[in-house]
Amino acid sequence: MASPDTVFIVNPQSRGGTTATQGPRVAARAQRILGGFKTSVTRIPGDAGSLAAGAAPGAVK
């Protein structure tokens, strides 16, 4: 089971943009399997690192 502290970082432009359209279906399946989690979506190149650092302050270097 995922912890409520689990964060999925999603790049909607990955796989040629198909992640943006398939993301909700994947998230619903992950929710059923893992339980609760948070989702953060990248908006610009390099954003994933910032999102990860914000999700786990002090844990990401």
- Taking only the tens place, the pLDDT of each residue in 9-59 is 999 888 898 888 988 898 889 889 888 888 899 999 989 988 988 887 766
Look at residue 21 and tell me if it is in a domain: yes
Look at residue 46 and tell me if it is in a domain: yes
Q: Answer yes or no: is pLDDT of 2 > 60.
A: no
Host domain of residue 27: 7-52
- What integer pLDDT is reported at residue 44 of this predicted model? 93
Return the half-sphere exposure (C-beta side, CA atoms, 13 A cut-off) of residue 17: 0
Look at residue 41 and tell me if it is in a domain: yes
- What integer pLDDT is reported at residue 4 of this predicted model? 63
What are the residues facing 39 on neighbouring strands?
8
Look at residue 47 and tell me if it is in a domain: yes
Q: Structurally, how many domains does the chain consist of?
A: 1
The pTM of the full predicted model, rounded to 2 decimals, is: 0.73
Look at residue 44 and tell me if it is in a domain: yes
Look at residue 2 and tell me if it is in a domain: no
Q: Give dist(CA 40, CA 16) in Å, integer.
A: 19
Look at residue 59 and tell me if it is in a domain: no
Q: Answer yes or no: is pLDDT of 61 > 60.
A: no
- What integer pLDDT is reported at residue 43 of this predicted model? 94
